[in-house]
Structure 1
């Protein structure tokens, strides 16, 4: 990624694009943790809290801190943005500033769980082949890779796909499955990022989301001959080594 336009963005990613002085970071973190409770933690429930965990593209450490609260003791995150890593370090988290391929190629550790939350879309296709092969190699046997990425099949994908200039590759469950199989991953499963029933508002949103999906799938069947199961703006994938 040397001499890459992305470097210019990542150098100031937090201060120019993420930081809002009128928005509570703590409130945003707690909101994400609720989402993790419903959508992420169930995917790693079988692992003990001594499992070795790596998050690539850890940002300011929201997931790292969540895992610490869940008593995971062997967790590290990496991110190419110094600003983001400094924020994670300020919260007492184990984070390293590094390019992901460089870190993985030079690390002597293997991992039981690797998280790639909102990062794979920032690589081009040539980089992705190397990235997924390396991620597979760095997982322990029966280790899992958890991915979240924008969904090319979403009902209203424009805002999330084109809202970040550094998005280079947009996946659907089908295309992500292709590259995971190319890297020899198995037991590949996909999940929606949709609303969670954490309160009354969440219950109402979930009901409306289900109705909206039903109507949209009728239109897809009329136009394309078949519907889609995963229609949220982002989707989640779990794959095993």
Structure 2
């Protein structure tokens, strides 16, 4: 069971794992704080660490509450959807073959079987968005891996509720959020580079920041853009 510590008016869950470093996460939608810590670390030590990050935690919670969220998708005719930062109007076409998705001018054309409900439409579009990220990320990962002097890692694309991406240095793999297909292309490039740099430096220390700044000087502007854009409506269990 997670332990719990108090940081002034904020409570944080602490989970002890077989890891080397402390990982602090502020989770949407309301800013729940979760800390993963090495098993050998004392709870008081974790609390001292968290208190040193209290200003950052508060800023993250404030930004999270203020960030705009998409309305739930109903998959109706002329509903707005976004692809690589551009707005498209949904156009539904009935077919008796396998479903497909296509961009035509400013329309996102979803060809779907008659009587398909919103759950099916959501699944078809989710697969299409995942393919968009996978295809574009393959090129970016190959190019940036060469630039960084890395062997290209394995890339997984999936829906992620709380992160735009993640890196597993030990497994030489990165994960990317399907939702990145809705954001401007520069946001995907920033996340790809961010995760690749973690193969050189696992933590967000000054060396990590220096590395990413050296290769993408405007990385902070891209991060601000990504965090400013509306995020997907989610149903949460807490």
Q: Does TM, normalized by the shorter one, top 0.5?
A: no
Q: Which has the higher strand share?
A: 2
Flag the structure with larger Rg.
2
Higher relative contact order (CA 8 A, sep 6+): 1
TM-score of the pair, normalised by structure 2: 0.25
TM-score of the pair, normalised by structure 1: 0.25
Q: Which has the higher helix share?
A: 1
